[in-house]
Amino acid sequence: MRSLPNPLRFPVVSATLLVVLSLSTGCPKPKSDDSAQDKLPLEGVQLTLLVVDDPALAAAVRKTEGEWRTQTGSTMDVVETTEDAVLAQTAPSADALIGPSHLLGVLAERDGLSPIPESLRGEGQEDWNEIFELARSHEAAWGSSTILGVPFGSPVLVCYYRADLLKRLRKSPPRTWDEYHELAALLADRANLGDAAPPADAPWSGAMEPLGPGWAGLVLMARAAPGAKHPDNYSTWFKVDTMEPLISGPPVVRALVQMVTAAKHGSAAQFEANPDDVRAAFWRGECGLALTWPTAAVPLDAETQAAGSKIAAGVVELPGSREHFNIDEGAWQRRDSGDDLSVPLLATSGRMGVVFERSDHPAASAQLLLWLSALSTDPPLSARSPWTTLYRHGQTTLSENWVEKPMGQALADEYAKQTEATFERQQWAFALRIPGRKEYLAALDEAVLAALRGERPPAAALYQAAEKWREITQRLGVEQQRTAYQRSLGLEP
């Protein structure tokens, strides 16, 4: 384990910050006597921090309470809660919250959130500026320029592959979904694997994907993103001006047709699987390709670790597409030479800190979140959470803290570099960050599973899902949803 630099450092001591904190707490301007000079910047300020659906992260944050109090004079009360409870409570009684990154939009629209002060994120504020670009400038943003969140890491799905088996097949890791499906078919046939094939009575599939409750729709969106995201169009899952659903359009239909093809080379177990289940199955040697992400926060059992230690593995970004669909022209277009083929789907998972607008101490709350986000601990604070990944340039040298043991150091470093590159992409798409997300995704889950099980053709299944999306939007209010969707894309309605 590498040693961590500057343990438990407090990343604030600028004169600007002291002014912000003084204004936040209502403290009088410091006097020139010794007692004033000795006064801590947040003396007597009490902050309440909600941590949503993340007991491991809440426990890690609680361990920092003493250090926060020693350095600032402020006390921190960490309260655990659930997403359902937050959504049911119209006015959560707290100063700040750390929860699923997609909640930023819902809370901004419903409760009002306080912007993260420019004094904490301007020139020279390295604790902010070393956060990956897409995380700090886009996933933490709402509207065209308002930064409402402090990132704690947001994993995107990646593709695990059996490097030893690809070498035997003389194949490279997949760059496009067509290549992925070709590999899945080759890997599914044990005859192609020779003496490297698993025993005939052992579980085996060419590819495994997390298609359980809450995941099937997200996997479809991640697969569809490279085709649906066009640089000339803001609209991806809805038309931005009308909120007409686009999930029954050509990019998503094509992606679901491809999913049906891939499912033929998978196992029935994936229909109940989440990313943790898929990851464990890969390291048990049960599939050749797997869509998941690394984490050290969900331990593998001893048997799985032992099996995984014998596997030569690799990890690449999700495959992409050489074409994308232009909604305005109603046509597929070839990507320009040199363009990225992959388009990451952000807000699939992740954790984001936000400050409630009604907080009596908004600047102090923002400083607490940034302090926690930048804190150097061993292991890094948010690495304790199963919902995060590395999100700072400085964390790429600490990659082993973010991955499961069978990966090994070399592959961990490769994953860290890959994640850093993913969050510098010029094109990306968001999983839904608007009110009703759970309902929209449930309807999409249903459509995906109906198509995969052969109950409905992909186009028909997605047509039904689009009808349900229209109903959800009408019930929640078309104007309200349009405003939220436009802001989620970085637009000001």
pLDDT tens digits, 271-281: 999 999 999 99
pLDDT at position 37: 56
Q: Does pLDDT of 7 surpass 70?
A: no
Tell me: do 376 and 239 sit in the same domain.
Answer: no
- For residue 415, give Cα distances in angstroms to 386, 387, 470, 471: 16, 16, 39, 41
Q: Is residue 4 part of a domain?
A: no
Q: Is residue 429 part of a domain?
A: no
Find the mean pLDDT for residues 197-211.
94
Tell me: do 31 and 163 sit in the same domain.
Answer: no
Q: Does pLDDT of 378 surpass 70?
A: yes
Q: Is residue 484 part of a domain?
A: yes
Q: Does pLDDT of 25 surpass 50?
A: no
- Write down the mean pLDDT value for the chain: 91
Q: Does pLDDT of 269 surpass 70?
A: yes
Tell me: do 276 and 366 sit in the same domain.
Answer: no
Q: Does pLDDT of 33 surpass 60?
A: no
Identify the domain containing residue 457 by its residue range.
Answer: 158-343+434-488
Find the mean pLDDT for residues 2-29.
39
Tell me: do 283 and 413 sit in the same domain.
Answer: no
Max avg pLDDT among 5-14, 33-42, 82-91 = 82-91
Structurally, the chain folds into a number of domains equal to: 2
**Helix or strand or coil: residue 334?**
strand
Tell me: do 140 and 75 sit in the same domain.
Answer: yes
Residue-wise burial string across 39-64, b where 16 or more C-beta atoms lie within 10 A, e elsewhere: eebbeebebbbbbbbbebbbebbeeb
Tell me: do 355 and 339 sit in the same domain.
Answer: no
Q: For strands 96-100 and 323-326, give the pairing.
A: unpaired
Find the mean pLDDT for residues 402-423.
96
Q: pLDDT band at 69, cuts 50/70/90?
A: very high
Scanning 189-289, the segments in alpha helix (DSSP H) are 216-228, 250-263, 275-283
**282 within 8 A of 208, measured Cβ to Cβ:** yes
Q: What is the per-residue pLDDT across 73-92, written as a single tens digit (0 to 9) for each?
A: 999 999 999 999 999 887 77
- For residue 170, give Cα distances in angstroms to 208, 233, 312: 21, 38, 15
Q: Is residue 325 part of a domain?
A: yes
d(CA 319, CA 262): 13
Q: Does pLDDT of 475 surpass 80?
A: yes
Tell me: do 191 and 339 sit in the same domain.
Answer: yes
> Any residues with CB less than 8 A from the CB of 65 and at least 6 apart, and which?
75, 76, 78
Tell me: do 186 and 328 sit in the same domain.
Answer: yes
Q: pLDDT band at 122, cuts 50/70/90?
A: confident
Residue-wise burial string across 236-265, b where 16 or more C-beta atoms lie within 10 A, e elsewhere: bbbbbeebebbbbbbbbbbbbebbbebbeb
